[in-house]
Amino acid sequence: MPTFDIVSKVPWHEVDNAINQAQKEIATRFDFRGTGADIENKKETIVLVANAEDRVKAVLDVLKEKLVKRKVSLKHLDVGKIEATGKVASTSLMGKSGSKISITVKEGIDSDHAKQIVKWIKDEKLKVQASIVEQQVRVTGKKKDDLQSCIAAIREKEFDIELQFVNFRD
């Protein structure tokens, strides 16, 4: 029986490239000089730091711009709230307080979204069966055309996570 998987994968190399480009832009832009603006990459968490709340928001805008240019969906990002930090790391700003934002990069389909996708497929009465397998949804049908119509229907429906369709087997 033909099958395919619905997944939500992050292109990590593109995320790293976007972070590197954003760091270079922050280092060279005049409006970031002396603000202690920095981006720290900690695997699945990205921390943006600066000496003021508006500068942290500007760093976030630069990072989002670079991610979009590298075709990384912003749906993968879970942006936290702006927090006050004790001190900024920059030597010229020692003793002054700063702000930071923690961004979590989400990969995989969590159980709530997987249940939502499976329920939606069943409610649409498509001629396919959907099941949850780890952090993905496997869709099975009798005909390849049924699977293709399911993919088209899912693309039209807007879920709040980025979805890819992989492992299409006949």
DSSP string, 67-78: HHHTT--GGGEE
Q: Are residues 81 and 120 in the same domain?
A: no
Distance CA 15, CA 131 (A): 30
Q: Tell me the average confidence (pLDDT) per consecutive run of 10 residues in the chain, 170 residues long.
A: 89 92 91 86 88 89 93 89 70 62 89 89 86 88 88 86 85
Domain that holds residue 163: 3-9+109-169
pLDDT given at position 96 = 58
* Whether 19 and 101 share a structural domain: yes
Residue 125: DSSP 8-state: T
Same domain assignment for residues 147 and 94: no
pLDDT at site 87: 57
Whether residues 98 and 135 fall in one domain: no
Q: DSSP character for 106?
A: P
Structure-block tokens of residue 148: 């293709």
**pLDDT value for 82:** 84
Instruction: Select from 57, 55, 60, 54 the least CA-distant residue to 19.
Output: 60
Same domain, 133 and 65: no
Q: Which residue has the tokens 């952090």?
A: 135
pTM: 0.81
Q: What is the pLDDT of residue 54?
A: 87
What's residue 95's pLDDT?
46
Question: Rounded CA gap, 114 and 78, in Å?
Answer: 18
- If asked whether residues 16 and 91 sit together in one domain, one would say yes
Q: Which pLDDT value is given to residue 93?
A: 45
Domain count, the chain: 2
Is 135 in the same domain as 158? yes
8 Å CB contact between 79 and 103: yes
Domain co-membership, 80 together with 145: no
Q: Out of 105, 124, 158, pick the residue that ends a domain.
A: 105
Task: Tell me the pLDDT tens digit for each residue of 46-56.
Answer: 999 888 888 89
101 and 144 both lie in a single domain: no
- For the segment 130-139, what is each residue's pLDDT rounded down to a tens digit? 888 888 899 9
Residues 20, 101 within the same domain: yes
Structure confidence at residue 70 (pLDDT): 92
DSSP-assigned letter for residue 91: G
